[in-house]
Structure 1
Amino acid sequence: MLNMNSLLQWSIFILFCQLVSSNKDSMTCGSTFKLVNQQSGDRLHSHDVKYGSGSGQQSVTGTPNADDVNSYWQVRGDIRNDCERGTPIKCDSVVRLFHVTTRRNLHSHNYQSPLSNNQEVSAYGEDGVGDEGDRWKVVCTTKNDYWLRADPVRLQHVVTGKYLHLSGDTYGRPIQGQKEISCYSHANRQNLWKVDAGVYIRPSTEPLSSTRDDNSNSRSQSATTDRFEDEL
């Protein structure tokens, strides 16, 4: 029969294992990934195409193309309180999303979006330097303490309180077929997002791991992550 000391040790060990398991599955600061809208299946996307109205800043859209490199975003800490690389991100944390290709931040402000007349979402700043409009709160939809990769979340714009949203309205030229991304005041399935393919930084000293969204033969894990880090 186990004595009290043994029971205490086992309890601590089990709790430690649960925490490690949870952190391994959580989103971490510095991870780079695609975000998929849970209503439409489109990926959050940007490119060097400016809005023809509103702010005139770089447009942010939803694309059905799973292979487009312009759909990669890197999660970074709050402009007021940056986070260390590999730190698990807690629910209700404030983060920034950095567009890898154009090096601008996911942004919103009090301009109308061009199609739905919701609140415009753009990509803003230079080399990741932006302003208060780049701050997004991670709103978890489960009872977990951390933003887990398997769980859909909402991203709430801190300044205006509205949610990152895919309206379903479709653009014509020059970005024909892409969907409007806006901010919307009410929580619904159109503003649920889930992470997809990317490079995920493991907590502590664990190496990077990657997932792929194509069926090609992948190279070794270390080669893939090294190449991706060079691009960042």
Structure 2
Amino acid sequence: MQDTRSNSERATTELREMIFSGALPPGSDHLETELAEKLGMSRTPVREAALTLRAQGLVELRPRRGLRINPVSAKDMADIYDILTELESLAAARAAEARYSRADLATLATAIGDMTEALAQDDLRAWANADDRFHRELVRLGGNARLSMIVSVMRDQVRRARATTLFIRPKPTQSNDDHRAVYQAIAEGDPKTAHDIHHAHRLHARDMLVSLLEKHQFHGL
């Protein structure tokens, strides 16, 4: 019984990660046998995981056709980004107010450097990874545990939407410039500039992402 529960939990965790990373794309169909083979386990824990993922709104169960990965909703992303924009911008302002040293901001600086290098190499997956690290660290530097908790709840859905649009979006050079400007404002202890630049950055990201999702959504699959 313990092994069954453990396998079910592992199947749920790994399938969620595959959905959020884009390895299981929105609108795609997958048989239980196929997923069980991918995960190296029997169909029973995969079936149990599928029920959990259905309850979370991530998949649809279709007779004789297995799981269908639900599309990323443009409306959901617009709603999520509206919240993220306000919360992350507040975190940026609080980080600037904290008067961190350059050493304290090293993780933020490293993420920016990695984003720059990734674009130079045309490695969008590496850029997305570094971008995620930048936003995680920005929220952490804001110093508000409750804010961090709320943002973490929405982070997986943002990752999923970004994975869906990563290779059809414009090259994110402006995003890198925005991150550098936010970093500079935090380093200089300028909360208004940090807030305003990040707020505009997130609004632009929201509009671009929602537009792409609306244009390329896989309706009717």
TM range (shorter): under 0.3
- If asked which structure has higher relative contact order (CA below 8 Å, sep 6+), I would say 2
TM-score (norm 2): 0.23
Higher strand share: 1
Structure with the higher helix share, 1 or 2: 2
TM-score, scaled to structure 1: 0.22
